[in-house]
Amino acid sequence: MTKNPEDVLQEVLDTINPLRGVLHVGVINDELRKGITKFEMDKAGQLIPVINMGVHESLNRDFTVVIIKNASFRPPPTATVQLVDNKGNILGEEIVNTNQKEKYEKDEKAEFINPDFVLIEDKKDIEEALKQENLEENPTKQAFVLPPVQFIEVEELDDTCDVVSSSPDPLADVYLKNYFGFEDDPKLASILVGFNIKDE
């Protein structure tokens, strides 16, 4: 028997709330969903477009919650920003942990442009997302892609599946912080966590 969706949502909230660095956990309603989507649109005209795959994935789930967190919250398990070309080649990515940094320090093709970002050559299957932005029509076009990121604490729950997390656009971040009563403090940030209810 499938668990009541509201009970699963409450279980997720109860799991995230005690995590270190979490100041607030709220549920994304239709009003917030529309507001976030509005901020994420119309970026393709930028010199280097930003494709926030993670936010689109997070909002495309049965439930989406938002975390307001401070700097003591754990780092993400994988890169949250990648630079890609129109063929899906990863040209660079954010450094988020020591293992990743050590791997690239040993890679002759990797070049650190600062301590937190490395230029690389690799291949990843994100061509469909790039096609939606018409990047393939321009052979020199590049984009910053914000991929969906694991959120292990929610993945480990028995009744959740298809769990993804993401960082919203800076303007959406301010919007979410204000909505939940927080000032636009650069030491605070928001994270979206989307998940589906597992069918039994």
pLDDT on residue 129: 46
Q: Is the pLDDT of residue 195 over 60?
A: yes
pLDDT on residue 43: 59
CB 16 within 8 A of CB 154: yes
55-64 pLDDT, tens per residue? 999 999 999 9
Q: In Å, how far from its chain's centre is CA 156?
A: 18
140-166 pLDDT, tens per residue? 578 888 889 999 999 999 999 999 999
Number of other residues whose CB lies within 10 A of the CB of residue 2: 10
pTM above 0.85, yes or no: no
**Residue extents of the structural domains in the chain:** 1-45+52-71+149-200, 79-148
The C-alpha torsion from 156 through 161 and 166 to 171, rounded to 10°, is -120
Give dist(CA 103, CA 180) in Å, integer.
39
Q: Is the pLDDT of residue 42 over 80?
A: no
